[in-house]
Chain A
């Protein structure tokens, strides 16, 4: 079903029903996560790949299946292209999806993407038939190169993962949007609803967030706020905002003398 502007979000042939993509990290337990996911209205949600543990089992996967939410495995924790490629292949095998959120970070302190390893991994995974959604720096040149090697979307950060600092370089995000021929997903850094709305107003096609919701005092309520914010930002973008002016312009007629 097309949205009210007649445009569906399609990433590599996958139709994404909601422009709010959620992460599952940081929730205190699965019950809180479930309420937040439902309130967010999301249809696509990330998971990480880790060693199976008898106590946790496949709980998060069972939850997403029950809610009918598609799974987007990530390669979180990978520092090299080789690690990320192996993790993506394991995710495809375990979860039977060709979608992957490609993360290759340079260090634990910043969790910023390592551009060299990221581009290398992206190229290998595209060649291997994956639908690659790379978590990238807010660098228009790197975003262009990721698109050139065949990524199905680009996902620039607003600020480092988990910081809640919002969109530190809106102009770079606008430049990425202006150049991109694939969907742009603002990924990481969102702290509150106005920042999710801003991402959409800048022209992003979707927002991906986790911490802002899962670590909020009331995750369910924040998830609802984010849903409204993404919808509002998207609507505003398509409504065409007024130009900024230096001096005031009266909106009422002049008084009669």
Chain B
């Protein structure tokens, strides 16, 4: 299935989770947060939260600013 991670299209296996999406872009597991289709997915749910086909995933971290 296809998902969009931080604006880029990725191919993930059906049944893939948020954790799989993080692996797909090589993201660290600390200091990041994930929103799927505009909703925050708490860290404790990453391993179990299944992604739907066409899901839009945003992976954010802290950068210099403010």
B27 on the interface (CB 8 Å rule)?
yes
Would you call A52 and B61 a contact (CB within 8 A)? yes
Residue among B27, B32, B38, B60 with the highest chain A CB neighbour number at 10 A: B60
With a CB–CB cut-off of 8 A, which chain A residues contact B7?
51
A61 on the interface (CB 8 Å rule)?
yes
Would you call B62 and A48 a contact (CB within 8 A)? yes
Would you call A71 and B25 a contact (CB within 8 A)? no
B1 on the interface (CB 8 Å rule)?
no
Total A-B Cβ pairs within 8 A: 102
Would you call A93 and B43 a contact (CB within 8 A)? yes
User: How many Å lie between the Cα of A25 and that of B35 in the bound state?
Assistant: 24
User: How many Å lie between the Cα of A218 and that of B6 in the bound state?
Assistant: 36
A19 on the interface (CB 8 Å rule)?
no
With a CB–CB cut-off of 8 A, which chain B residues contact A56?
63
Instruction: State the main secondary structure of chain A at its contact with B.
Output: mixed
User: How many Å lie between the Cα of A73 and that of B64 in the bound state?
Assistant: 10
With a CB–CB cut-off of 8 A, which chain B residues contact A73?
62
A9 on the interface (CB 8 Å rule)?
no
User: How many Å lie between the Cα of A76 and that of B62 in the bound state?
Assistant: 12
User: How many Å lie between the Cα of A54 and that of B6 in the bound state?
Assistant: 12
Partner of B35, one of A26, A27, A86, A101: A86
With a CB–CB cut-off of 8 A, which chain A residues contact B35?
86, 90
Binary CB contact string for chain B from 22 to 53 against chain A (1 if under 8 A, 0 otherwise) = 00011110111111001010110000000000
Q: How far is the CB of A132 from chain B (nearest CB, A)?
A: 15
Q: How far is the CB of B56 from chain A (nearest CB, A)?
A: 12
Closest to A47 in B: B62
Would you call A51 and B6 a contact (CB within 8 A)? yes
Would you call B43 and A49 a contact (CB within 8 A)? no
With a CB–CB cut-off of 8 A, which chain A residues contact B32?
52, 58, 94
Would you call B61 and A61 a contact (CB within 8 A)? yes
Binary CB contact string for chain A from 54 to 80 against chain B (1 if under 8 A, 0 otherwise) = 101110111000000001111010000
Using known A-B contacts A52-B61, A94-B33, determine if residue A76 contacts B66 with beta carbons closer than 8 Å. yes
Q: How far is the CB of A187 from chain B (nearest CB, A)?
A: 9
User: How many Å lie between the Cα of A163 and that of B17 in the bound state?
Assistant: 45
Closest to A60 in B: B64
With a CB–CB cut-off of 8 A, which chain A residues contact B34?
90, 93
Partner of A51, one of B43, B60, B64: B60
Q: How far is the CB of B48 from chain A (nearest CB, A)?
A: 16
Q: How far is the CB of A252 from chain B (nearest CB, A)?
A: 50
B59 on the interface (CB 8 Å rule)?
yes
Would you call A52 and B25 a contact (CB within 8 A)? yes
With a CB–CB cut-off of 8 A, which chain B residues contact A74?
65-66
Would you call A94 and B31 a contact (CB within 8 A)? yes
Pairs A–B under 8 Å by Cβ, sample size 15: A23-B65, A47-B63, A48-B63, A49-B61, A49-B62, A50-B63, A50-B65, A52-B6, A52-B28, A52-B61, A58-B61, A72-B66, A74-B65, A92-B33, A103-B66
The 4 closest A-B pairs by CB, nearest first: A48-B65, A46-B66, A94-B33, A93-B33
